[in-house]
Amino acid sequence: MDKANILIVEDDPLQRRLIKENLEQEDYAVFEASNGKEASNIIALHSIDIAVVDYKLDGETGINVIQEILEQNPLVTSIVVTAYGNIENAVDAIKKGAYDYIVKPIDFDKFLLAIERALERQKLKKEISSLKSSLEEKFSSKNFIFTSSKMEEVTILVSKASKSDATVIISGETGTGKDFVAKTIHFSSKRKKGPYLAVNIPALPETLIESELFGAEKGAFTGAYERKIGKFEAVSGGTLLLDEIGDLPLQMQVKLLRFLQEKEFFRLGSSQPLKSDVRIIAATNKDLEKLVKEAKFRPDLYYRLNVISILVPPLRKRKEDIPPLVDYFIRKYSKKEGKDIEGISAEGMNLLLNYLFPGNIRELENIIERAAVFCDRNFITSADLPIFLKDKKEKELIEEGLSLKDRVKQLEIKEIKKALLESGKVKSKAARYLGITERILSYKMKVYNLSSD
């Protein structure tokens, strides 16, 4: 790193000069202060990396000075200097924000090693701060790309959710950007400096969901060889996204409800209640009200979660957002591929506007990324787009001349075929994918003369 700036806060001028001379021999830039006020003035004018603060100053304590320094600039790393026999003071200072301590009389070999360790930590703090700033910028509400009134309503709700600590349910089809909405809420809220974690419920084995979320004590179950810290505990002070909350088993729904009500939980295998200051955001592509009616989701949990409800509309219901999204993805992947792609042809844009996008924004992004790879001109054309976009059947679904009944029929046929394909032609799985019973699926297949063979 560049030459580090070190501030010495010491009211004894002889001791201050001794520390300064040793640091300057190592080519550090050294600033001096005899009290907290002088230290504050220096930090306001200079980028200080390390503050070396004497524990006992004239009329104030080093702990207070360190806390004031951290309030002024949280990126400064502090080292407290204390007299021999007062180690408990140094420990107290570390608890209140100091990184390390040095005992008087100072052993300068050990002192310089402590400075090096502090600078390594300082470098890490700056990297983390830079990463958080970039995340905050990336997941700012200004990065919502839309022109539709439907998405304007979403951004209004996101803004309100960001100013609150209430639980949120984000619903919408797969690929609509529910995780992006959740991250935007987190990085626009007062919790933005805390952790953010997304947990995909269906990806967790049912037998391990409890230990993953709430943790487990050593020996709580076969294979638990050490204590496990759960997600609720690890994300304290931040935001936890429970993705696909509709797949949470009923037994775990009871435990989640208890946490939301009491703000406490138990590790698996423990009777000791623990508390966690974590905000819960739930996301789902299922109809939770329907699951409640079917007794597959607890109504009390649903109402507890559904304080703020945000529905992210599918792309086919906000087609006016496709052009600005296409423009954004072209710029993104043109840069990634090292190309100078300026836009897309009218024919290519027309193909995109006439497509239903069952995979929503995620699918659109994949299409543009693929097109950027294949494009060898400064404009993407229809030749760079996937062949299925030119499928006549897809166009027929949105022709103005079709009646609503025919549109629904063709859409149902398309979705049933897709469900059968993705389920390996197992009707029970296809029915679950569609959110209907196997009996209804069999009836519709008979009506539409569809075969699972």
Digitized pLDDT (tens) for each residue of the chain, 453 residues in all: 457 899 999 999 999 999 999 999 999 999 999 999 999 999 988 889 999 999 888 888 888 999 899 888 888 889 999 876 667 777 777 878 888 888 888 899 889 998 988 888 777 766 655 555 555 555 545 567 888 888 888 988 998 999 999 999 999 999 999 999 999 999 889 998 889 999 999 999 888 899 999 998 888 787 777 888 899 999 999 999 999 999 999 999 999 999 999 989 999 898 889 999 999 999 999 999 999 999 999 999 999 999 999 999 999 999 999 998 999 999 999 999 999 999 999 889 989 998 989 999 999 999 999 999 999 999 999 989 988 887 644 444 444 455 666 767 777 888 888 888 877 788 888 887 777 888 888 888 888 888 776
Give the domain CATH number at 339: 1.10.8.60
**Residue 214: which of 232, 200, 193 has the closest Cα?**
232
167 and 299 housed in the same domain: yes
285 and 160 housed in the same domain: yes
- Residue 453 within a domain: no
273 and 328 housed in the same domain: no
The tokens for 144 are 């919502």
Between the CA atoms of 11, 16, 19 and 20, what dihedral angle is there, to the nearest 10 degrees?
130
Q: What is the model's pLDDT at position 122?
A: 77
- Tokens 């703020």 belong to which residue? 308
305 and 167 housed in the same domain: yes
279 and 155 housed in the same domain: yes
The tokens for 41 are 């003035």
236 and 214 housed in the same domain: yes
Q: What is the model's pLDDT at position 9?
A: 94
Give the domain CATH number at 154: 3.40.50.300
Between the CA atoms of 243, 246, 248 and 254, what dihedral angle is there, to the nearest 10 degrees?
120
Give how many domains the chain has, as a whole number. Answer: 4
Instruction: Domain of residue 347: give its range.
Output: 315-396
- Residue 235 within a domain: yes
Three-class SS state of 239: strand
Handedness of CA 41, 44, 45, 51 (dihedral sign): positive
- Residue 77 within a domain: yes
Cα–Cα dist 255/236, whole Å: 17
Q: Which of 279, 311, 343 is the last residue of a domain?
A: 311
Between the CA atoms of 355, 357, 363 and 366, what dihedral angle is there, to the nearest 10 degrees?
0
Q: What is the model's pLDDT at position 257?
A: 96
- Tell me whether residue 436 is exposed, middle or buried, using C-beta atoms within 10 angstroms of its C-beta: 0 to 12, 13 to 18, 19 or more: middle
163 and 235 housed in the same domain: yes
Give the domain CATH number at 421: 1.10.10
Cα–Cα dist 306/300, whole Å: 10
160 and 306 housed in the same domain: yes
Q: What is the model's pLDDT at position 256?
A: 96
109 and 209 housed in the same domain: no
Q: Is 59 left (phi over 0), alpha (psi -120 to 50) or beta?
A: left
Q: What is the DSSP letter of 246?
A: G
Q: What is the model's pLDDT at position 1?
A: 44
147 and 293 housed in the same domain: yes
Q: What is the model's pLDDT at position 405?
A: 67
